[in-house]
Structure 1
Amino acid sequence: MKKLWVWLTVIVAIIVVAVLGIVISQHQSNHKSMESSNFTKNQTPTLFLHGYGGSANSEKYMVKRAEQRGVTNNTITAIVSKEGAVKLKGKLKSGASNPIVKIELEDNKQGYLDKNAKWFKNVLVKLQKEYHIKHFNFVGHSMGNLTFAQYMMTYGKDNALPQLNKQVNIAGTFNGVLDMNEKVNEISVDDNGKPSRMNPPFQQLRALKDIYNGKNIEVLNIYGDLEDGTHSDGRVSNSSSKSLKYLLGDSPKNYKESLYKGKSAQHSQLHENKAVADELIDFLWEKQEH
């Protein structure tokens, strides 16, 4: 009789756990469905690019968060070989909403911006050839932002290529990197983002203002401050990231800066930060009220 009670208790416990699992799963599904209704649904792909020494794993958390929030269920990876050849892992589904392309550069530790820019262009050309894309969004971290700036410098006026809609810059190294060409608290920026000293290739990047002019591009610039007196994320100074404002001027349709503070705002933690991920998701895909 005692064994029977034990078995009954076990069976009841299993049933309770199963029911709770179904209820929780249903609640999460309903919540995801409700939240996804707040986002636009279009076929414009968003390309994520990592920084120096990074990989597609650098983009993993942000992309996963977009999936969790019901923004997209179509993510592929574009792997760029050391020779610049592009291989796509996965397929962009016909009619998929807000597809995401994670870019991984196999040669992720070379600093020639012209080469990186060409590799980024190769990804766009591959997507254009296979999926006939006409527009794209961009999310970059660290040096990935400088790569993209060089891409826009070199190819931004080529109307035969897919055109940029929105860009998100995270921890951008637009005017230097600490302990490389800048010391802690050495450079400041004024209210317009103009730096007190311009490190190469900042002067050349000033041409971006003309390239962005009249294209209705929206820009979100995210940076981090450890609040340890360095005015940096530990790797990139706030002044370097904020100098993007001076490069673009009033050319974008809109430009927004967003500062994150504390340990979770450390350079590599910014792309693992839930609040950062949620802000860029809302910026890229949230429905606009008219």
Structure 2
Amino acid sequence: MTYLNKIFNKRDIVVLIIGILAVLGGFFYIQFGVGGSKEMQNARQPIIFVSDKNRVSGAAQHLVTTTSRSGGAVAIHINVLDNGKIEYDGNQNVKAKQPIIEVNFNDRSKTTQQQAQSLNQILRKLNHRYAYKQYDAIGFGSGSLAVYYNAVKYRTSGNRMMLNHFVSIAGPYQGVLPLQPPHGEHRTTNQRATQPPQPVRPDWATITNQRFPSYQEMQHLSKRLDPNTEVLNIYGVISDRDRSDGRVSEASASSLKKLIKNKDNYQSLRLTGPYAEHASLLDNQVAERIINRFLFNQ
């Protein structure tokens, strides 16, 4: 009987030890994510915001703030300096599920090709440093061109990150329009009030459009866009007479559709009225809701 009790006691002790180890193992797995760090890294998907405005502009900052309220967290400010050097100013939010990364080009005279090359360096750096595998991107104005051109030029393999969602806002895929002054201003003394005003800087559009790749070049490269990339194209039309947002024509912005081979992954939002003006598109509440739904499924 004593011998059986000893065996029973030994078995009890072994079972007890195994049970304690199992409980402790489960505790540490839950509390510290043992074995799950790689999965968490793969789940992180930054939102990269590229604007044709300086990042301190109220409109650009408004969209970033709205996105952060919907689930993102501002993590890194990236400045591409005039000499091409890239500065990174990050914080602890780089480990958030959807960190927001603002990219600012200090030199607005750089071509789209040069900006796309800088984006390639940035994406490769983010992949190497934070193990990001894919990303979402919001491009405004010429920033949309930089995002698109980078995606088709360098592709997923060259960037080491896949473009998952792309929001293009007022993208000038066939160029921009000459700047127009407010109605009633900048008329010559011989002009009647009913006559349309003259462009303020007639050469501005020509100079700006020279920085952009030709539409034919982008058409040629369009087949290189990842077929799984989902695209939301947002553009404005102030009035049927203007057929533009004052800066980018409807024809220019909507021509992105022909650059997306997988039409099932393309959708567009045409905004009208005074809040469809170029700079106001970033403040448009309808656009905000659609972007949040597109990026966050809200």
- The answer to whether the superposition gives a TM-score over 0.5 is yes
- What is the deviation of 1:106? 1.3
Q: Which string of whole-angstrom CA distances, capped at 9 and with x for unpartnered residues, describes residues 31-79 of structure 1?
A: xxxxxxxxxx94100100011x53353531111112333x123432111
Two-structure CA RMSD over aligned residues (Å): 2.3
- Following the alignment from structure 1 to structure 2, what is the Cα–Cα distance between the partners of residues 67 and 157? 26
Q: 1:240 aligns with which of 245, 252, 271?
A: 252
Aligned to 1:170: 169
Query: Structure 1 residues 213, 128: closer, same or farther in 2, change over 3 A?
Result: closer
Aligned to 2:196: none
Q: 1:227 aligns with which of 228, 231, 239?
A: 239
SS at 1:136 equivalent: strand
Aligned to 1:151: 150
Higher helix share: 2
Contact 2:163 2:226 in 1 (8 A): no
Aligned to 1:268: 279
Aligned length: 224
Contact 1:79 1:104 in 2 (8 A): yes
SS at 1:133 equivalent: coil
Amino acid of the residue matched to residue 50 of structure 1?
S
Aligned to 1:278: 289
Amino acid of the residue matched to residue 225 of structure 2?
Y
Contact 1:220 1:258 in 2 (8 A): yes
Aligned to 1:207: 220
- Following the alignment from structure 1 to structure 2, what is the Cα–Cα distance between the partners of residues 160 and 228? 40
Divergent runs of 4+, >4 A: none
Aligned to 2:199: none
Q: Which string of whole-angstrom CA distances, capped at 9 and with x for unpartnered residues, describes residues 63-115 of structure 1?
A: 1112333x1234321111122222222225464121110111111x2141221
Contact 1:206 1:248 in 2 (8 A): no
Aligned to 1:64: 65
Q: Which string of whole-angstrom CA distances, capped at 9 and with x for unpartnered residues, describes residues 147-197 of structure 1?
A: 2222123211535611110100000100121128xxxxxxxxxxxxxxxxx
- Following the alignment from structure 1 to structure 2, what is the Cα–Cα distance between the partners of residues 143 and 155? 18
Contact 1:152 1:208 in 2 (8 A): no
- Following the alignment from structure 1 to structure 2, what is the Cα–Cα distance between the partners of residues 122 and 84? 11
SS at 1:207 equivalent: helix
- What is the deviation of 1:126? 2.2
Aligned to 2:160: 161
- TM-score by length of structure 2 reads 0.69
- Following the alignment from structure 1 to structure 2, what is the Cα–Cα distance between the partners of residues 244 and 49? 17
Matches within 5 A, 1:1-290: 42-51=43-52, 53-57=53-57, 58-69=59-70, 71-93=71-93, 95-107=95-107, 109-156=108-155, 158=157, 161-179=160-178, 201-212=214-225, 214=227, 216-227=228-239, 229-249=241-261, 251=262, 253-286=264-297
Amino acid of the residue matched to residue 233 of structure 2?
N
Query: Structure 1 residues 235, 125: closer, same or farther in 2, change over 3 A?
Result: same
- TM-score by length of structure 1 reads 0.71
Amino acid of the residue matched to residue 46 of structure 1?
I
Query: Structure 1 residues 89, 218: closer, same or farther in 2, change over 3 A?
Result: same
Query: Structure 1 residues 157, 131: closer, same or farther in 2, change over 3 A?
Result: closer
Contact 1:56 1:103 in 2 (8 A): no
SS at 1:168 equivalent: strand
